[in-house]
Amino acid sequence: MKIVLASQSPRRRELLARMGVEEFEICPSADEELAPGGLTPDGLVEYLSAEKARQVAGRFGPEDIIIAADTVVAVDDRVLGKPHSRREAVEMLTMLSGRSHAVYTGVTVCRGGAAYTEHECTRVTFRPLTGAEISAYVDTGEPMDKAGSYGIQGLGCLLVEGIEGDYYNVMGLPVCRLGQMLRRVGLDLLDRK
């Protein structure tokens, strides 16, 4: 049996290792997933994680476990993915300044014919930020590969005033939920006799 993470995210790799998964393969989906319009943030991340898992599962055997995830930030019914430019990163951080937003991560676990897809939602509150602080943070480069233009596990922690829910979800992988999903496909990380 192989465990396969369908993601190139270093944060997801780190979190999977923290969960006690010592050996796993990295095999990201080959294509950029496009979702149908009109999905809610939770529906969007579930759809995208399921698509990633489906694409990768075809490359492995029925006993292998595939784990896929997708994370977005949502504020005022607007979904914020990863910024494509410095300008977009500044706009996103300005929008998040001094208010709360939701971080959604969809997770799909596949093994054999079974596939489970769920999501986690965490509320994050930013302190009020000055334009100079936003500019300085964007200049670090950290926001450029992160949903919502920040990484809570890095310098982005200096922006966060409070959090309600799963901290690891904000990093991109809700580990408690994932652990329960893995048990459903026969992998109990707390009892690996």
Given a contact cutoff of 8 angstroms between Cβ atoms, the answer to whether 184 and 178 are in contact is no
Q: What is the pTM of this model?
A: 0.92
Convert the pLDDT of each residue in 45-63 to its tens digit: 999 999 999 999 999 999 9
d(CA 43, CA 45): 6
Centroid of chain to Cα 150:
12
Convert the pLDDT of each residue in 149-183 to its tens digit: 999 999 999 999 999 999 999 999 999 999 999 99
Convert the pLDDT of each residue in 82-95 to its tens digit: 899 999 999 999 99
Q: Could you state, in order of their start, the residue ranges of all structural domains in the chain? A: 3-184
Closest Cα to residue 75, out of 97, 105, 43? Answer: 97
Mean pLDDT calculated for residue range 110-131 = 96
- The model's confidence at residue 33, banded by pLDDT at 50, 70 and 90, is low
Active site residues: 70
* Domain 3-184 class, CATH top level: alpha beta
- The model's confidence at residue 193, banded by pLDDT at 50, 70 and 90, is low
The pLDDT of residue 81 is: 85
